[in-house]
Structure 1
Amino acid sequence: MSELVGSSRGSPGRRPRDRGSVTAEAALVLPVLVLLLAVGVGTVAAVAAQLRCIDAAREAARAAARGESMETAVELAVRAAPAGADIAISLGAERIDVTVTAEVVIGGGLLPAVTVHGTAIALPEPTAASSGRDP
């Protein structure tokens, strides 16, 4: 009669010193994955904020070009811009420049903040009085 002799410790092909290596590898990789996730989410937030800055600048430039008051143009920009954005409107004889700048905090403050901006330029629309036409 033959007898089978074996050990119940560990699985075949594994050495006892390899025990826990998966846990150690996971502990090393997990912070890297969290950092990559924070960078990815932060990048999406920065792009979204930049798009909002561009939209806000366009809204304000269009309003100023139509001849609306500066208060109205700024109000439209504030509504469309990210919270805490700076709005600069420059009225010239030939054109209107609007720049909206915002700071985006990435990763809950773990990573440096990013400054995004949007700029729009519009030409003033002629009014009925300045074009010589009757209203």
Structure 2
Amino acid sequence: MSQARRDRGSATAEIAVALPALVLITVVALWGVSVASVQLACTDAARSGARAAARGESLPAVRALVARAVPTGAAVEISREGDQAQVDVTVQVRAPGATGLAPLTVRARATAVTEPGVATG
């Protein structure tokens, strides 16, 4: 039997083994990009909310502002105490189902110094 005849089908077998691994790596990489995007959105929303709270906008208005900018299901906490306004945003980013990975929790916090004359609470 010749060498070429014995090697027939080995390329197909190698692809069959390697292709699922490549697909999994691609899916996990895309999930990583998605997590980074959610982190940026949460950070930007928390900063905008902290600035709005520091200017003296009502806390419900600040919550609505932040909620529009973050993914659905995000938890938003706002506080204004003393001379600081703080906004915390927390959201879970689920992994693609085929990976079997646990969801990641993304957190963002922003603090701003309140303007003179802004009431606490």
Same fold (TM over 0.5): yes
Q: How does 1:1-135 map to 2 (within 5 A)?
A: 14-108=3-97, 110=99, 111-127=101-117
Which structure shows the bigger proportion of residues in helix conformation? 2
Q: Which has the larger radius of gyration?
A: 1
TM-score scaled to structure 2, two decimals? 0.89
The alignment of Structure 1 onto Structure 2 pairs a total of residues equal to 117
CA RMSD of aligned residues (A): 1.8
Larger relative contact order (Cα-Cα within 8 Å, sequence gap ≥ 6) = 2
TM-score scaled to structure 1, two decimals? 0.80
Cα distance, 1:38–1:122 mapped onto 2, change above 3 Å: same
Which structure shows the bigger proportion of residues in strand conformation? 2
Q: Identity of counterpart residues, as a percentage? A: 44
**Segments ≥4 residues shifted beyond 4 Å:** none
Task: Name whichever of 44-53 and 101-110 sits farther off.
Answer: 101-110
